[in-house]
């Protein structure tokens, strides 16, 4: 559960990971010559300008998500600002796209006669809707939560539902471009095995401290889930 200060392209991994998170600086996607690690599922973070580089390497995604901060983050005074980023997902999608536990506290909804297809003979009946929360393909994060994320750090509220969708406890995660260590924090709270790599030494030290200190309960990481 830590980040190594190394160029992730210089490592040759024997192992196949369950999940690889690829979040390089977006303008460096064109330098990626091949997929740097073997994994069952790949999550690639990019933007409108660079997504074609991702598709040159990986092909058409199996699933795509768009996310943005409600109050924006990437600002240009020369043109309308690009606020939305793309998340392209490849490989196996092994689990339901639900996040959070099933809630048993809700009241069943009453439905009238004939409302449920071929059960027309059954008279009025009740059913309990699926109370788990769906992960949407467009995700809005309430606001840019501050300095800790720098110019590129991903918010925990975005990453937590995605990683909890794609993994089960104890599975392995590769994070070649670890930055501020967000994926490591989430891996810690989901009890995953995490191998992070970061080329910049100071960033590595700061991110390792962040992961070590990270305590899920202190942050409102469920804010996004609760809002759904």
- One-character DSSP codes across 177-227: S-TT-HHHHHHHHTT-EEEEEES-HHHHHHHHHHHHH--TTTTTTTHHHHH
Site membership for ligand SAM, residue 161 (CB under 6 A): no
Site membership for ligand SAM, residue 44 (CB under 6 A): no
Instruction: Compute the distance between CA of residue 53 and CA of residue 94 in angstroms, rounded to an integer.
Output: 26
Assess contact for 53 and 32: CB atoms under 8 A.
Answer: yes
**Residue among 8, 54, 89, 166 that touches ligand SAM (CB under 6 A):** 8
Helix, coil or strand: residue 175: strand
Count of residues of this chain found to bind ligand SAM when the rule CB under 6 A is applied: 20
Which residues inside 70-109 make contact with ligand SAM, applying CB under 6 A? none
DSSP 121: G
The least distance separating ligand SAM from the CB of residue 151, rounded to whole angstroms, comes to: 8
Instruction: Name the segment binding ligand SAM (CB under 6 A); options: 54-62, 130-138, 151-159, 220-228.
Output: 151-159
Site membership for ligand SAM, residue 47 (CB under 6 A): no
Helix, coil or strand: residue 156: helix
Which residues inside 188-217 make contact with ligand SAM, applying CB under 6 A? 197-200, 203
**Residue among 39, 65, 157, 176 that touches ligand SAM (CB under 6 A):** 176
CA distances from 185 to 117, 141, 152, 168 (A): 46, 18, 16, 16
User: How many CB atoms are closer than 10 A to CB 172?
Assistant: 18
33 or 126: CB nearest ligand SAM: 33
**Residue among 53, 182, 192, 196 that touches ligand SAM (CB under 6 A):** 182
Instruction: Compute the distance between CA of residue 29 and CA of residue 56 in angstroms, rounded to an integer.
Output: 10
**Residue among 46, 53, 154, 187 that touches ligand SAM (CB under 6 A):** 154
Site membership for ligand SAM, residue 180 (CB under 6 A): yes
The least distance separating ligand SAM from the CB of residue 199, rounded to whole angstroms, comes to: 4
**Residue among 1, 152, 193, 223 that touches ligand SAM (CB under 6 A):** 152
Instruction: Compute the distance between CA of residue 164 and CA of residue 168 in angstroms, rounded to an integer.
Output: 7
Per CB under 6 A, residues contacting ligand SAM are 7-9, 23-25, 152-154, 176-177, 179-180, 182-183, 197-200, 203
């Amino acid at each position: 559960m830590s980040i190594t200060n190394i160029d992730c392209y210089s490592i040759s991994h024997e192992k196949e990971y369950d999940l690889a998170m690829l979040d390089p600086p977006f303008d460096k996607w064109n330098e990626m010559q091949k997929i740097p690690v073997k994994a069952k599922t790949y999550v690639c973070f990019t933007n409108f300008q660079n997504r074609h580089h991702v598709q040159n390497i990986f092909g058409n995604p199996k699933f795509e998500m768009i996310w943005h901060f409600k109050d924006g983050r990437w600002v240009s005074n020369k043109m309308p600002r690009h606020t939305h980023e793309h998340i392209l997902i490849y490989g196996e999608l092994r689990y339901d796209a639900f996040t959070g536990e099933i809630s048993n506290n809700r009241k069943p909804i009453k439905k009238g006669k004939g409302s449920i297809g071929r059960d027309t003979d059954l008279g009025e009946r009740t059913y309990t809707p699926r109370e788990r929360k769906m992960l949407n393909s467009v995700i809005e994060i309430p606001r840019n939560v501050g300095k800790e994320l720098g110019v590129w750090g991903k918010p925990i509220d975005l990453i937590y539902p995605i990683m909890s969708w794609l993994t089960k406890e104890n599975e392995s995660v590769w994070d070649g471009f670890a930055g501020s260590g967000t994926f490591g924090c989430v891996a810690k709270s989901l009890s995953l095995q995490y191998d992070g790599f970061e080329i910049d030494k100071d960033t590595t030290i700061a991110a390792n401290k962040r992961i070590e200190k990270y305590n899920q309960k202190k942050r409102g990481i469920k804010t996004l889930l609760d809002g759904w």
